[in-house]
């Protein structure tokens, strides 16, 4: 019975850690710039696009603009993904889990 209470306590602690992790990821932002510096984007820790800033003076072709937006977004998304991995590793003590924790965030 004592072992069961210990497991329940560990489960509650893990739930608390993941709640903190989710909050931290939701409140952290990452920024990306296109290689040419024409576009800047802001994403959440989950990689959700929040803001786009475009230097209008530097853009005259829509195809170039599309490529710049994609480039800036992927840079910011990569940073967000790396952050999520690091935070999940901290939450699990570096232990690899047999499932994807991002689905819980």
Interatomic CA distance for residues 37 and 24, integer angstroms: 29
What is the reported pLDDT for 105? 53
Q: At what angle do helices 62-91 and 2-26 cross, to 10 degrees?
A: 150
In this structure, are residues 44 and 24 in contact, taking their beta carbons and an 8 Å threshold? no
CATH class of the region 29-90: alpha beta
Interatomic CA distance for residues 49 and 6, integer angstroms: 41
Please give the chain's pLDDT, 105 residues, in tens. Answer: 678 788 788 878 888 888 888 888 888 999 998 888 888 889 888 888 888 888 877 556 767 777 888 888 888 888 988 888 888 888 777 777 665 655 555
Interatomic CA distance for residues 61 and 81, integer angstroms: 30
What is the reported pLDDT for 31? 93
What is the reported pLDDT for 99? 58
Interatomic CA distance for residues 84 and 35, integer angstroms: 24
């Amino acid at each position: 019975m004592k072992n069961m209470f210990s497991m329940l306590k560990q489960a509650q602690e893990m739930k608390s850690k993941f709640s903190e992790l989710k909050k931290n990821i939701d409140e952290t932002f990452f920024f990306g710039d296109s290689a040419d510096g024409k576009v800047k984007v802001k994403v959440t820790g989950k990689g959700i696009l929040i803001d786009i800033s475009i230097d209008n003076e530097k853009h005259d072709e829509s195809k170039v603009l599309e490529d710049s937006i994609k480039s800036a977004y992927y840079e910011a998304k990569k940073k967000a993904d790396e952050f999520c991995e690091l935070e999940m590793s901290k939450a699990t003590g570096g232990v690899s889990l047999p499932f994807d924790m991002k689905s819980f965030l």
